[in-house]
Each structure stands twice: as structure tokens, then as C-alpha cells.
Amino acid sequence: MKKIQIDDCICHSRIKNHSQIKDKILSEIDKCDDNSLKFNQFYINSYAEENVTPDSISKLDWDKSEDEERPWCKIFLPEFCEDIKEIFSSMCYTGVSIKQVWYQQYLEGDTHGWHIHGHHFTGVYYLEYPEGCSKTEVCSPFSLKAEQMDTVEGDFIIFPAHYIHRGLPNSDIRKTIISFNFDVVGNIKPN
């Protein structure tokens, strides 16, 4: 077998109006009576069993991820969709189609093991991310080299959905992220 390396990237940007929307989104999330996740058998396979960490996420609304009518989504999505236009136009795509969006709240010790997503791209918006919270680690399937993302509150990252990634065990400070999956729509002719 031969691997042929091509360029790819992880895009890192900011939600421009983060300070205006953060508290509004958190207030709507606080009103939600959503699920938690404790150990997901789906992520275990014969290649990774020795490295499996039980998943534990204190609060999330993954089961509603296709519902864009949730109150917090109505605040987040217009801002996000505006802020990603520049990223995708720089990558020769003409638009995106959001497929899923959900929040995750991590408390002390919460973690999300190595996994991938469906669709073309995925990412994380660091909505509530005080200093000392756990980082996101992303691994290219080509090199299998993991890299911790150097992000601050208000940032978001976007990467190909087949990139392996995880949320490291969290500190005792609450962390709230918004995750998303989407497909690109159309492209212009590459150089």
C-alpha cells in the first residue's frame, strides 16, 4: 500500500459577536433538560481497545441535533453561518449545508474519546471556555500525529469530518462547546 499525502488544514477563526451572544446562548442551554452521555460502545473497535477512555459528558442535546428551531440554535446559527463564509470561499466552496448542531457541557473529569463524524466537515465552537479547561485534540488519518488545538473562548475550529479527534478529560471548571456537522455545496474550479 502507498499513501499519497495532499495538503489539508484545520481552520481556526472566531465568532465575531461572541461577547454579544455567549450569555444569551448559555441562558437558553440552562433552560434545557437534556441528556448526558456515559460510555458509548460505538467508539470501541479492535484497533483502539487499549486506548479507550469511557466517554462522559454531563449535558448535551445530540438527540436533537437536526432541529435548528431550538432557541439557542436561532441565536448561534446566523452568527456562525456569517463567520464561516470567508473560510469556505478561501477553499473554493460556494456554500455549506448545516446537517447537525448540538451543545456539550463538560464538568470535572468529563471526556469524549477518539471518534470521527459523518458529513464533509465538523468542528467546535468554544462558547464557554475558561482558562484551564480541557483541550480538543485532532489527529490526521495520514500521519496519525495528534495535535492539541490552541484555542480561547469565542474561537471555533473546522476540519474534515474523517479526522480523528477527542475532548481530553476536563478540569473542575465547566466547559460548554457547540459542535456541528455540515456538507459543502458546490465548488469553483481549483487553480
Closest CA to 17 of 90, 104, 76, 72: 76
Per-residue pLDDT of the chain (191 residues; tens, 9 = 90+): 988 888 788 999 999 999 999 999 999 999 998 888 766 544 444 344 455 567 889 999 999 999 999 999 999 999 999 999 888 888 888 889 999 999 999 999 999 989 999 999 999 999 999 999 999 999 988 888 899 999 999 999 999 999 999 999 999 999 999 999 999 987 776 66
Residue 5: the pLDDT is 82
Q: Where are the domains of the chain?
A: 11-39+54-184
The domain 11-39+54-184 is placed in CATH, from the list 2.60.120.620, 3.20.20.10, 1.20.120.80, 3.40.1280.10, at: 2.60.120.620
Strands 112-115 and 155-160, by their bridges, are unpaired
Angle at which helices 18-30 and 71-90 pack, to 10 degrees?
Answer: 140
